[in-house]
Amino acid sequence: MKLGLIGERLPHSYSKEIFEEILGYPRYDLIELCPEDVGDFVRKTDLDGFNVTVPYKTAVIPFLDGISDLAKRIGAVNTVRREGSRLWGTNTDYNGLRLLLCKGGMELAGKTVLVLGTGGTSKTAVAVCKDLGAASVVKVSRTARDGAITYGEAATIHAHYIINTTPCGMFPQTGVSPIDLRLFLHPETPEETLLGVADVIYNPLRTALIEQARTLGIPAVSGLRMLAAQAVAAEGYFATGQMTEKAAMEARTETVYRTLLARRDNLVLIGMPASGKSTVGEALAERTGRTFRDTDRELEKQIGSIPDFIRQNGEEAFRKVEAEVIRSLTSEVHGAVIATGGGAVLREENRRALAENGRLIWLDRDAGEIVFDPTRPLSDTREKWEALRCVREPVYRASADMTVRNFRTSQEACDRILEEYESCV
């Protein structure tokens, strides 16, 4: 079976990996098209089936021989199958987004939902929200087209949930967010405050929007599980013209999702000098079969001895080089265990880079458990170490997705990390 994906730009896509490496299909092509070429492609393609991504989920419809009732109701198609010489379309994004919201504990019944964007995925989100019983679903766009309101107007609405269907924050333009979530927090009136956020973007795993939600204590889910679910639903449609039965689809989705997550999500160890990040990191990598990288070791390849560099050039010069190493490492390494230097997360740019595709794990140990290294100029005595800890502890606490305290052995730390990680994915 020859399959593929069409879209305007596809550097962010994991679909080829899903279908060829995880689901086991022999061929899945990524096909970038200009808007004027969509019709010609559909008329001439020899693919047995193909998926459709932004911005062609609506544009592709006039060139198909027919679409499912679900796709008609939504007004968008993301999956097309061939039957003889005819092409039929449906919408499996619906299955993916519905599963994402339900698995994420987003209870939309009777609530107000803001849907950011007006494209094909936005249409899907509106349908899902209505089917889940939302009392009000409001679309938001920069131009207020297609019945949407502007972002300025959105700030006046007491939204309970926000779903981002725009590409804002997607690789390679990461680090930006379509909206400021602080505008929707109303602690004085809890019945009107923001309860949850969903971002359909899956690359990076945690967009700036998701990261802000985490910082503010708002439950949030990213689009990786939706991607896995829509692919599994599409697989069934390609084969039979029908969606895979719900229970089987959810079980297969979980396998695809966890496989993708393991390949993409870094386990990032943060904490004070001598807290065991390298030792635990090596043990964790061995336990999980992941690659191990240490930012201090990467730095030493460039600058030699870190203590000598700091003594000769100062801490600020060191932090600048460290930031460059972290930026380079996080853009290249996925599904790894990364041990960081004690001060790495003090810089916001480092925290953002590490968190985009990484789970930050704070190894928190007391001074009585630390062996002080006389070669480290910033923490070579207990007094210096404890003074540093006072400054850094609030940053570690705010940055960490999980915390492992006062472990006795590296294997004990690994046990705790893996147990908590399994419970939160």
DSSP string, 168-227: TT-TTS-S--SS-GGGG--TTSGGGS--EEEE---SSSS-HHHHHHHHHT--EE-THHHH
Q: How many of the other CB atoms lie within 10 Å of CB of 272?
A: 23
Chain centroid, CA 91 distance in Å: 22
Distance CA 249, CA 109 (A): 24
Tokens coding 392: 């850094």
Q: Is 390 exposed, middle or buried (0-12, 13-18, 19+ CB in 10 A)?
A: exposed
Which residue is catalytic, options 2, 16, 44, 57? 57
Helices 315-332, 295-303: crossing angle, 10 deg rounding: 120
Q: How many of the other CB atoms lie within 10 Å of CB of 402?
A: 16
* CB 361 within 8 Å of CB 400: yes
Report the DSSP beta bridge partners of residue 44. Answer: none
The angle formed by the CA atoms of residues 124, 127 and 128, to the nearest 5 degrees, is: 85
DSSP string, 10-43: -TT--HHIIIIIIS--SEEEEEE--GGGHHHHHH
Q: How many of the other CB atoms lie within 10 Å of CB of 397?
A: 11
DSSP string, 55-84: T-TTTTGGGSSEE-HHHHHHT---EEEEET
The angle formed by the CA atoms of residues 251, 252 and 256, to the nearest 5 degrees, is: 120
* Residue 72 is a catalytic residue: no
Distance CA 350, CA 319 (A): 10
Tokens coding 127: 């349908």
In 3D space, the residue among 2, 11, 17 whose CA is nearest the CA of residue 228 turns out to be 17
The angle formed by the CA atoms of residues 61, 150 and 230, to the nearest 5 degrees, is: 40
Q: Does the bond joining 377 to the residue before it have cis omega, within 30 degrees of 0? A: no
What amino acid positions are annotated as catalytic residues?
Answer: 57
